[in-house]
Structures are given as C-alpha cells and as structure tokens.
Amino acid sequence: MSKQRVLFLCNANSARSLMGEALLRHLAGDRFEAYSAGSEPDEPQALALAVLERQDISTAGLASKSLDDFAGEHFNAVIVLCDKAQQTCRDWQGSSDEHLYWDIRDPRLINRQNAYEQALAEIRRRLSLWLAIKTRDDIQR
C-alpha cells in the first residue's frame, strides 16, 4: 500500500508547518509522506528546529518551501496551521481529499520562553488525534 501524502501549510513555512512535517515523519513516517510549504516562505526558525531536536525529532531535510512548488500536485490531506495561509490556499493550484484547519498561534508572536514548545505540543495533540482516526478508518476498511 502506498503512503498517504500530507502537506502542512502556514504563512512563512519557518516554524509550525516545519514542526508538523517533522512530527508526522517521526510519528508515522512508515504510513505517510510529509511535506510543508508557506505562502510567503522564510528561513527556518532556529528555535523551532531546536525544540524538535530536544525532543529527538529529526530535522534532517527540513527547509522552507513555497506553496507554488506544489502547484498541480495531489495530497491525501492538507493541514493549514494559520489564518493567513488559510486565505492563500483558496487560490492554490493543487488538490486534496481532506482539508483541515488547525489555527496554531505563531510562536514568534508570543512573548513566552516556551512558545515553541507549546506550539509543538498543540500540533502533536491534534496530529495524534488525527492519526488515531486514520488508523481506525484503515482498520474498518
């Protein structure tokens, strides 16, 4: 059975969507191919990469990419992690079977020392629930 393709989107593709990509590979890389992109890609945030590494989640190959890089492609699921990307992806020239919107606050804009840890924890909670539903659905087929 081929792996399902999942695309994580946020504005800069510098923290939240990269965390989603790395975390899905870590939790279920045997079942899913994870990708991420941004509507206005920026450099990966050093603090986001450091949080992943502290939790033994590989950051190998993570790089900010443009949503345009995935034009014309099909994904089993697209998971949008911010308001701005939600607006932009309406014009995206790709397709998906499932479109999810998880509004995760931008850790760059939160004046707390553990903002990146909190963002990763929230993504992990939602991703774990989503994976549990996917597993249940696969079993019922």
Greater confidence, 21 or 84? 21
- Using the predicted structure, report yes or no on whether residue 1 has a pLDDT greater than 70: no
CB 122 within 8 A of CB 104: yes
- Using the predicted structure, report yes or no on whether residue 10 has a pLDDT greater than 80: yes
Angle between the 46-54 and 16-28 helix axes, to the nearest 10 degrees? 20
pLDDT at residue number 90: 63
* pLDDT tens sequence across 20-32: 999 999 999 999 9
Beta bridge partners of 100: 79
Greater confidence, 68 or 23? 23
Q: How many domains does the chain have?
A: 1
- Using the predicted structure, report yes or no on whether residue 91 has a pLDDT greater than 80: no
Per-residue CA distances from 116 to 3, 16, 35, 51, 77 (Å)? 29, 9, 20, 7, 24
Domain hosting residue 38, numbered range? 4-140
**What is the pLDDT of the chain when averaged over all its residues?**
91
Nearest CA to 21 among 66, 67, 52, 47?
Answer: 52
Distance CA 131, CA 92 (A): 25
- The rounded radius of gyration (Å) of the Cα atoms in the chain is 14
- Using the predicted structure, report yes or no on whether residue 57 has a pLDDT greater than 80: yes
CATH classification of the domain holding 9:
3.40.50.2300
Distance CA 94, CA 74 (A): 6
